[in-house]
């Protein structure tokens, strides 16, 4: 079973049904629901998703969506080492750096799924767009 780290942009695509990206995001989450893949996010994802979704819905509705996310993902911790690496290595986006180095500490994660491939150009392991992942999924 492949183990994936899902970047926040893909989660938001899924939960907000952002076209044209939501179809691929929904397919990936469906694979998780079917136990064909395992998905990880960090606590940052929940915070960031809440902030974005709250602009479009009530607190209660957003929490319902976050509960769905919790059912479909596991949580990779953010720790001191993640922050130190994010502060000291070559990533242009600090949040992406934190996400990356948190994922990197989990030996089970095979790759990162994001629409922001260029933000992960200095990644220590494979990065794919949702579209590319779906095309290559076995």
CA separation, residue 114 to residues 56, 80, 127 (Å): 22, 24, 7
Per-residue pLDDT of 70-89, as tens digits, reads 999 999 999 999 999 999 98
User: Which whole number is the average pLDDT over 19-48?
Assistant: 96
Q: How far is CA 51 from the centre of its chain?
A: 15
Task: State the Cα–Cα distance between residues 75 and 73, nearest whole angstrom.
Answer: 7
pLDDT tens digit string along 7-20? 999 999 999 999 99
What is the 3 state secondary structure string of 22-65? HHHHHHHHHHHHCCCEEEEECHHHHHHHHHHHCCCCCHHHHHHH
Read off the pTM.
0.93
Domain count for the chain, please give it: 1
Cα–Cα distance, 57 to 17 (Å, whole number): 13
Question: The domain that contains 48 carries what CATH number?
Answer: 3.40.50.1010
- Residues spanned by the domain of 128: 2-136
Tell me which DSSP letter residue 119 carries: G
Q: Which of 27, 45, 32 is nearest to 4 (CA)?
A: 32
């Amino acid at each position: 079973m492949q183990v994936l780290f899902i970047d926040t942009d893909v989660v938001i695509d899924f939960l907000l049904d952002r076209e044209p990206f939501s179809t691929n995001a929904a397919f990936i989450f469906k694979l998780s629901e079917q136990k064909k893949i395992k998905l990880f996010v960090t606590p940052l994802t929940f915070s960031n998703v809440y902030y974005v979704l709250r602009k479009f819905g009530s607190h209660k509705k957003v929490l319902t969506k976050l509960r769905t996310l919790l059912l479909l993902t596991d949580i990779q911790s953010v720790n001191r080492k993640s922050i130190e690496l994010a502060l000291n290595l070559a990533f242009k986006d600090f949040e992406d750096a934190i996400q990356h180095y948190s994922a990197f500490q989990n030996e089970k994660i095979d790759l990162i799924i994001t629409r922001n491939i260029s933000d992960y150009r200095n990644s220590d392991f494979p990065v794919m767009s949702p579209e590319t992942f779906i095309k290559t999924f076995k």
